[in-house]
Amino acid sequence: MKAGPKAKVDGSPLPFRPRSTGSKRFASFAEKFIKVPKGTNAKKALRLRDWQLELIGSVEDAELMPRTAGWMLPRGQGKSTLVAAYGLYRFFTDGEGAVVVVVAVDERQAGIVFNIARRMVELDDELSARVQVFKDKLYWPTTDSYFHCLPASPASLEGLDFTLAILDEAGVANRDAYEVLTLAQGKRERSTLICIGTPGPDPNNQVLADLRNYAADHPEDKSLVWREYSAAGCEDHPVDCQHCWELANPALDDFLHRDALVALLPPKTREATFRRARLCQFATDTDGAFLPAGVWDSLSTGRPVPDGAEVVIALDGSFSDDTTALLVATVSATPHVDKVKVWQKPSGDDTNYRVPVSEVENEIRKACRRWQVTEIVADPFRWTRTLQALEAEGLPVVEFPHSPSRLTAATGDLYQACLNGGLSHSGDSTLAAHVGAAVIVEDARGIRLSKASRRRNARKIDLAACLVMAHSRATWRATHRKRSRTRSFTS
């Protein structure tokens, strides 16, 4: 592939002159130039299904090309591959100065579609000979055309002048970003914004739901088209209803494998999550609880972590109003966990209360004498001095910043471990209460723990936060023993 700004490219026109128009013309382009980049039929010509052509046709076959299209499909339908191929089609056929932009909640998510498009270009000699490839864009010097990927932050989208914009994961997209994109239109005779995704967790606050409602209320408005594949209206059916699966998943038994849906049925995933992701239903959690009823209790052994065991200690610390907690987990593929200690503000309105930091530090030192501590893991926010002091004493401190990407992966792993019996616990009542109080925050990146309420008297979840960190690090340590160094503390 020709990469970089100074690479020479083939300046001749793309050899593509079909007699067909609309969606059929796109199908001809895909069959001639686009190869499936991965998965089922990888490196074979992209042969579009009728339902995929119908989606493209909602834009390309319209008497007057719509300014906005909303496409709602469950996960696993090849949405990213389809919009990447369509983006390349518009990039190569929209003429002089074409601009295609892929926008998602963050750069990583936008990069999914962009990297599929980049790989499609790499797999075809005619396309790759004409394009310069950069980290976040494709450039065709012959027509001065661009294919960008951008995060959905309004500041990064100001000033765009696109022929095609694709707003990925519109079910959780930032509304301000959507409005910047849609208001950017009008500079060109032909430009379209495609909002594509699955329903988000809040049906009252998402771009996709609003487009759906508007299309239903204003069928006469031809500037907007709406297409969906869902089991809407069948919310009272069980989640394993095969009829619902077939209604919502046009790729089922084609490149979406039925056994994958079976493997993800509740309680392995929460019912509301399964309905949104796999049936495209606007479902909300009934209580938002992290774990289904009875799961945590079933993991209790009634036994503490044995003295001398190889463990990870997790600290979730606060300063004044909140709770500070310590939790211990054995280093194992199936950790055993227990509460070490919890410090909580006394009841009442004591504005002078402060967490006894020295007492917390001494409790950590005691834990290091009781067990073989491989890591003391904590988010350094507000506790940097404590972590530095402990590390200066030779204790194995590991920082665990609470970034969304890190917490999402760790929370998902913990959830699966609990459902599949991949951990056990002592049965401590405070630990059970904190886990029971934790609820889920969900976005395009996945799930994370949160409090049900931010009120001062809300139920605490600090031991649950410790559990996320401890499980992540204990299981990692168990599978990376050759690189680990166990330290003990004796004094």
Task: Tell me the C-alpha distance between 120 and 35, whole Å.
Answer: 6
Q: How far is CA 227 from the centre of its chain?
A: 23
- Whether residue 226 contacts residue 211, with contact meaning beta carbons closer than 8 Å, is answered with yes
Of the candidates 232, 33, 222, 218, the one whose C-alpha atom is nearest the C-alpha of residue 117 is 33
Instruction: Decide if pLDDT at 333 tops 70.
Output: yes
Q: Is the pLDDT of residue 443 over 80?
A: no
Residue 180 Cα to chain centre, angstroms: 23
Is 378 in contact with 368 (CB distance < 8 Å)? no
pLDDT grade for 25, boundaries at 50, 70 and 90: very high
pLDDT tens digits for range 451-482: 755 555 567 889 999 999 999 999 999 988 65
* Mean pLDDT lowest among 16-30, 139-153, 395-409, 452-466: 452-466
Q: Which residue has the tokens 């590390």?
A: 391
Confidence band, pLDDT 50/70/90 cuts, at residue 380: confident
Share of the chain above pLDDT 90, in %: 59
Helix axes 50-60, 79-93, angle to 10 degrees: 40
Q: Is 442 helix (H, G, I), strand (E, B) or coil?
A: strand
Q: Which residues of 358-374 are buried (b: 16+ CB within 10 A; e: fewer)?
A: eebbebbeebbebbbbb
Give the start-end residues of each E strand in 276-371.
Answer: 310-316, 324-330, 336-343
CA pair distance 171, 269, nearest whole angstrom: 19
342 — phi, psi (to 5°)?
-130, 135
Which residue's structure tokens are 């950590």? 364
pLDDT for 285 equals: 56
Long-range contacts of 108-112 (CB under 8 A, 24+ apart): 108/405, 109/168, 109/169, 109/444, 109/445, 110/149, 110/150, 110/151, 110/152, 110/168, 111/136, 111/149, 112/80, 112/168
Task: State the pLDDT confidence band at 487, using cuts at 50, 70 and 90.
Answer: very low
Higher pLDDT, 317 or 324: 324
CATH number, domain 22-229, options 3.40.640.10, 3.40.50.2300, 3.40.50.300, 3.30.565.10: 3.40.50.300
What CATH number should be reported for the domain whose range is 295-483? 3.30.420.240
pLDDT tens figures, 166-209: 999 888 887 888 899 999 888 888 899 999 999 987 666 678 98
The full set of domain ranges for the chain reads 22-229, 295-483
From first CA to last CA, the distance across the chain in angstroms is: 62
Phi-psi region of 308 (alpha: psi -120 to 50; beta: other; left: phi over 0): left
Neighbours of 391 (CB within 10 A): 14
Q: Are strands 99-104 and 446-451 parallel, antiparallel or unpaired?
A: unpaired
Dist CA 391 CA 395 (whole Å): 5
For 221-263, the pLDDT digits (tens) are 999 999 999 999 888 899 999 999 999 999 999 999 999 999 8
The pTM (predicted TM-score) of the whole model is: 0.64
